[in-house]
Amino acid sequence: MRRFSGIFVLTTLLFAAGAVVFFTKAAALPYKVAYPVLLLGLSTFLLRRKELYLIGLAFLLSAAGDVMGARHWFIPQMAFFALAHVAYIRWFLPRARRTPRIGSLAVVVPLLVFLFVVIVPQAPFPAECIGVAVYGLVIAGMLYSVLQYDGACAVGFRCAALLFVFSDAAIAWNRFVGPVPAHTWVVMITYYLAQYLFFRFALTTAASPAEAES
């Protein structure tokens, strides 16, 4: 447990520092948007817990998506984040309730309506239209798998998933519909917080009783 706690505290401090660096215009570092989530991925693998590998992979794929976003490569950015959400789905779905909850459907169905009625028709190119539709389906699947999740820290994971969806919805609205005030702050604060919460609660679920006594 001490090793878990040490890695968690150090990662939290460095993650916060990385977020501050991102929002500091004077810190002209290459691809600095990716540093905080890359750190989460490396820290997760550093724990050497097999049950966390998919979560760690989701962080690394997200960091790759951040790099693509920094280069303004929108379709590769969506591709990497779609793969990250697939990794999250692979982690949550085996731990999820099979019977759909009314609450899960009440959140995911309006999200899909928003995607296909408001966002997808606004995409200017066929490739972008298809990419946005596929990505939207994948992130809706991630959200559904988290809302159906029945394990430890379920409420925390749901908050993380909802924040992630909100961040992406803000990106989509800003790109295809109209300007979002304080766009970068709205998108990145919710995105970083979502990823950090996934990390925080994944570590909680992975801490075994034996480690807690060490």
Mean predicted lDDT score pLDDT of the chain = 93
Give the torsion sign (CA, 67, 72, 74, 76): negative
The stretch 173-191 carries a mean pLDDT of 96
The stretch 180-207 carries a mean pLDDT of 95
Give the separation between CA 118 and CA 108, rounded to whole angstroms.
Answer: 15
Residues 211 and 4 sit within 8 Å (Cβ to Cβ): yes
The confidence score (pLDDT) of residue 211 equals: 37
Question: What token pair was written down for 55?
Answer: 């979560």
The confidence score (pLDDT) of residue 105 equals: 96
Q: What is the pLDDT of residues 25-77, one digit of tens each?
A: 888 899 999 999 999 999 999 998 999 999 999 999 999 999 999 999 999 99
